Structure 1
Amino acid sequence: MQYSEAIDYLYSRLPVFHRIGAKAIKPGLGNTLRLCEALGNPQQQFRSIHVAGTNGKGSSSHMLAAIYQSAGYRVGLYTSPHLKSFTERIRISGVPIAEESVAQFVVDHQTLIEAVEPSFFEVTVAMAFDYFARQQVDLAIIEVGLGGRLDSTNVITPAVSLITNIGYDHTDILGTTLAEIAGEKGGIIKSGIPAVVSETQAETESVFRQIAKDKGAGITFADQQWQVVDAGLLNGKRQLRVTDTTGHDYALLLDLVGGYQVKNVAGVLSTVAEVAGEWPVTPQQIASGLANVVGLTGLKGRFQQLRDMPRVIVDTAHNQPGLAALFDTIYSLPYRTLHLVVGLVADKDRSAVLAQFPSDACYYFCQAQTPRALPAHQLEQEAAEAGLSGTAYLDVNLALAAALAAAQSDDLILVTGSNYTIAELIDL
C-alpha cells in the first residue's frame, strides 16, 4: 500500500471531523484505549506534556517543542489539523513522520482498525503514540484535538497539563458557557499532576481551581507568575519584556509575530519551569527556541506573511476570541486599505464570528473544498446582513487573486476564517 492509498483508506473508511463535523466524534476514550492496548500501550512508553485550550494550544505546543529542541532533546510533537500534508500532525524534532511510516502503520493494523471502527482522529492519535514510543522520544508535546475530558489524546499521563485559555467555540459539543467549556478543557488535569493555566479569567478560574483541588493537583495561573509585555516588532520578530515573580526582568524575541501570542508565552514559561527538574533548559535555550519556532517546528498559518507590497498575511483564526485577538494586531499595522479574504465553516455561531470583522474593509468571500464549508454565496449574503460587503469566489486562491488585483502596494490583505481555507492556499 502506497502513502496516497493509505490516506485515501483512512479518509474513506473513517469518520473525519473536518469533513462532517461533530458526527465524526466517537464519545469516550474506549476506542483509543482499545487501539493502544493492541499496540502495546505506547502512551505509557514516553513522557509528555498535554496542551488544551480554545485558542493558542497549537502555538503553545510548537513553542514548547522549539524550546526543548533548542536544548537538544528528541521531541515528539502531535498537533491537528494539518494544513498541507497529513504528516504534519506527527513530528520528531521538527521532521514530519515519513509517508512510508504512515502507509506501513495502516498496512500493519488494518484488521485492528476495521475491528475497532474508530474515528479518523482516534487512529491518528494511536499512530502518533506508536511512532513516538518506537522512536524513543525524550518527551512528546501532545495537543488536544477538541475539548479535553473526552478527547482521544486524554489517555496519556503527562508530566504537566497546560490549558491556554477558554473561549466560545464548539459550543454544540463543549457547552454554552465559559464555565462549562472550562470543565471540559479541565478534564486533562490528572490526579497529582501539576496544571498550568495561561490566562486568568473570572468565569473560569474557580472551575480550574476546583478540578485541581478534587484531583490533588497543583495549579499555576501563568499570568500571575509572569508579566509579559509586548515591546513591538524588531526585524520581523516580536520583542517581549518578561518579568517573573522575583522581579527579574529580561528580553525575549518571538518569531510568531501575532500580538495575541504574548498571552501564550506566559503559559509556556510556567510549563517549562514546572518540569525543569525532568527536562532542564537554560535561559539561552528558551530564548533560542522562542526566536525560531517556525524554523524548528515547521509551524504555518499563525500570522504568517506570504508577500510584501501589498503585504499578505494568513492566519487560521476561526472563532470569536481568536478573530478579536487577530484584529487587535492587524489594526496596529500601517496600511491604506484592508482587504479580507474570508472562508468559514457552516457549524459555527456565525453571527458572533462575523461581528468581529470590520465594516470598512473590502471583502472576498470563498469556501474550502470540504462538506463543512459554508458556501461562499451564503457567506456573502450573511455578511451583507452584518454590514460587510464583498464578492463570492469558488475558492480561496481565486479570492486572493482578486484581492491582489484590486490592492495597492501599501494595502494589507488578510486571509482568515478557517484552517481549511488557509490549507488550500497554493503559495502557503
Structure 2
Amino acid sequence: MHRGILRYLEAEKRTQACEIAKAIIPVRQMNYQNAVEFLWQHAMFEARPATQYAPQHFSLARMRALLAALGDPQTKFPSVLIAGTKGKGSVAAFTESVLRAGGYRTGLYTSPHLHDVRERFQIERTPISRAGFTEIMQALRPQIEHFPAITFFEITTAIAFEYFAREKVDLAVVEVGLGGRLDATNVLQPQVCAITALSYDHVELLGSTLDKIAAEKCGIIKAGVPLVCAPQPPAAMQVVEQTARQCGAALCLVGRDWHYKRLSVTRTGQNCAVGRSAALAAEYELPLLGAHQVENAAVAVAIAAELRKAGWQLDDAAVAAGLRTVVWPARCELVPGSPPYILDCAHNGESAMRLRAAIREHFPGQPYVLLFGAMQDKDISGMFDNLLPDAQAVVLTHAANPRSLQPEALSAMAAPYARPVSTAATVPEALRHAAALAGPQALVLVTGSVALVGEARTALGFTGKE
C-alpha cells in the first residue's frame, strides 16, 4: 500500500472500515457498466447532502493521499481553476474554447453533467470514451477501496486528473465543485485562478452570509498565482481583496481592470465589447444569451490575458474565435420548434433573476409556460419570485433524483402566486402538457435544476454529443 494512504488511514483510524469495504465489493475485471455502478456507489452527497462543510466530510488530506498513490497526476499538467456561485461553468467553457482556438490541446472538467457522467471529463470538448473511463476506474479502484468515506466528487476529480495526465493535455480548465477551500480540485497549483459571481447557494454548508461564502470560495487563492475576479457585492469583494492581499496574489478585477459592455442582442446571441478601457475594447460575438454571459465572457478574456503574461500564445483572433464558437448547453438554450423551448440550469434565486432578465431582453413580450422542478435544499421561493410572475401557466414535476422535491409540495409553494398550476409525474409527461398549454405562440421555459433540464433535453432528443 502506498505510504501516503498508510499515513492517512493511521490518522483517520480507517483500517477496519477498509477491510469491511473490500469484503462488500468483490474485486473483478470491470466493464463500463461495472465502472459506472462502482462510481455511483459513492454518491452519498448527491443523494443526501452533508450537514457540515468541514474536513471530516471534505478532506483534502484524503484527496492528496489518493492522488499520491496514483503518482500525483495533478502535477503533470498546467491548469486554470475557477470557483464561484454562478457562471463558473460558463467561464470554464469560454476559457477552454479560447485555448482550443489558440491551438492548444485542452482538458475540461466540469460538473454536474446533463446526460452522461462522461461529459465531466473532456479533451478538446470530446467526452472520455467508455473504454477510457473504464480503464481509469479499474486503475483507481484498488486505491479508492482504501478510503471508505471517499465521495463521488473526489473520485471524479481523480479520474479527471489521471485522464488529463495520461493524455498529456497542454492545459486543463477545471471548475470547482462546491465552495473552494475544501473542494477536491483545490489540490491543483494553477496558472490562473478565477472567482465568478458570488451569491447565496449551499448556505447550509458554506454559510448564510456573503462574506462567509466568499471566504470559502477564496480558499482557492494561491500565493503568486494571479486571480481574476468578476464583479461582486461589497461584502464579498472585501473578502476577495483581503484574501488576495494576504496571499500575495495579483488581483485583476473585471469591472475595474477590464471593462465590458453589451452592444446588441438577438434571439440567438449577442455582441459585446471587452477591453482594458472603453476606448481599447474589442468587439466579440457570443452565442450564449443573457447579460450575465457578457460578464462571464469578460472574465474569460481577462483569464486569457493573464495566461498571455505567463507565456501562453493566445492572440486576439483566438479569443474572438473561442468566444464566438463556445458550446455550453442548457444555459438559456433555445430549442426552436412549435412551441420553442428555453432550457436553463438556474437553481437559485440569483440565477432565476438572471434568467428572467435574459428572457425579457431576448424574447420581449413573448409569454411562456414554466416547466419547473427543483431539489429539496434549494431556494424555491427565490426562484418562484422571479419566474412565476411572468408565466402564463406552470407545470410542476420532478427529476429522477432522490433529492428532488415532489410536485405536490411545489404546488403548495406556488399557490400564493395565483398562476394556473398543474403537476406531472415525469419530465416527458410534463413536456407534453406544457407544450399543449403553450400552443404555437408561447415559449416553454424548462428550469429549476440541472437534473431536470438534463432529462428534458434527453426527452427532446438530445444525447450530450451535440
**TM-score, scaled relative to structure 1:** 0.95
| Equivalent residue for 1:231, pick from 240, 263, 281 | 263
In structure 2, the CA distance between the partners of 1:380 and 1:248, relative to structure 1 (3 Å rule), is: same
In structure 2, the CA distance between the partners of 1:148 and 1:387, relative to structure 1 (3 Å rule), is: farther
**Which residues of 2 match residues 330-409 of structure 1 at below 5 A?**
330-332=359-361, 333-361=363-391, 362-409=393-440
**Does the alignment pair 1:275 with 2:303?**
no
2:176 is matched with 144
Q: Distance in 2 between matches of 1:3 and 1:253?
A: 40
In structure 2, the CA distance between the partners of 1:258 and 1:392, relative to structure 1 (3 Å rule), is: same
CA contact (8 A) 1:196 1:219 kept: yes
CA contact (8 A) 1:237 1:291 kept: no
**Which residues of 2 match residues 17-56 of structure 1 at below 5 A?**
17-22=45-50, 26-56=57-87
Aligned-pair distance for 1:335? 4.5
Q: Deviations over 1:4-37 (max 9, x none)?
A: 221112112x134332223697322122111100
Aligned-pair distance for 1:107? 1.8
Which 10-residue stretch deviates more, 197-206 or 283-292?
197-206
Aligned-pair distance for 1:115? 0.9
| Equivalent residue for 2:352, pick from 314, 323, 326 | 323
Larger radius of gyration: 2
**Does the alignment pair 1:7 with 2:39?**
no
Which 10-residue stretch deviates more, 379-388 or 280-289?
379-388
Aligned-pair distance for 1:249? 3.0
SS in 2 for 1:187: helix
2:335 is matched with 306
Q: Deviations over 1:273-308 (max 9, x none)?
A: 1110321211111111111111xxxx3111111223
Which 10-residue stretch deviates more, 305-314 or 370-379?
305-314
Q: Distance in 1 between matches of 2:97 and 2:400?
A: 32
Q: Distance in 2 between matches of 1:234 and 1:355?
A: 26
Question: Which residue type is aligned with residue 168 of structure 2?
Answer: Q
Q: Distance in 2 between matches of 1:204 and 1:360?
A: 31
Regions of 4+ moved over 4 Å:
none
Aligned-pair distance for 1:388? 4.2
Question: Which residue type is aligned with residue 191 of structure 2?
Answer: A
SS in 2 for 1:223: coil
Which 10-residue stretch deviates more, 379-388 or 320-329?
379-388
Q: Distance in 2 between matches of 1:120 and 1:369?
A: 18
Q: Distance in 1 between matches of 2:93 and 2:191?
A: 17
CA contact (8 A) 1:223 1:267 kept: no
CA contact (8 A) 2:92 2:174 kept: yes
**TM-score, scaled relative to structure 2:** 0.88
Question: Which residue type is aligned with residue 273 of structure 2?
Answer: R
Q: Deviations over 1:225-268 (max 9, x none)?
A: 22222222358221112342272132110111233211112211
**Which residues of 2 match residues 104-253 of structure 1 at below 5 A?**
104-117=135-148, 118-234=150-266, 236-245=268-277, 247-253=279-285
In structure 2, the CA distance between the partners of 1:24 and 1:90, relative to structure 1 (3 Å rule), is: farther
> Any stretches of 5+ residues in structure 2 without a counterpart?
1-29
Aligned-pair distance for 1:113? 1.1
Which 10-residue stretch deviates more, 1-10 or 245-254?
245-254
Q: Distance in 2 between matches of 1:139 and 1:334?
A: 40
Root mean square deviation of aligned Cα: 1.6
Q: Distance in 2 between matches of 1:379 and 1:99?
A: 37
Q: Distance in 2 between matches of 1:402 and 1:210?
A: 51
CA contact (8 A) 1:303 1:314 kept: yes
Q: Distance in 1 between matches of 2:146 and 2:52?
A: 17
CA contact (8 A) 1:335 1:410 kept: no
SS in 1 for 2:197: coil
Q: Distance in 1 between matches of 2:262 and 2:110?
A: 27
CA contact (8 A) 1:69 1:289 kept: yes
Q: Distance in 2 between matches of 1:23 and 1:136?
A: 38
Q: Distance in 1 between matches of 2:401 and 2:388?
A: 26
In structure 2, the CA distance between the partners of 1:387 and 1:406, relative to structure 1 (3 Å rule), is: closer
Q: Distance in 1 between matches of 2:52 and 2:235?
A: 30
Aligned-pair distance for 1:320? 1.0
SS in 2 for 1:203: helix
2:17 is matched with none
In structure 2, the CA distance between the partners of 1:24 and 1:388, relative to structure 1 (3 Å rule), is: farther
Aligned-pair distance for 1:360? 4.5
Q: Distance in 1 between matches of 2:213 and 2:281?
A: 35
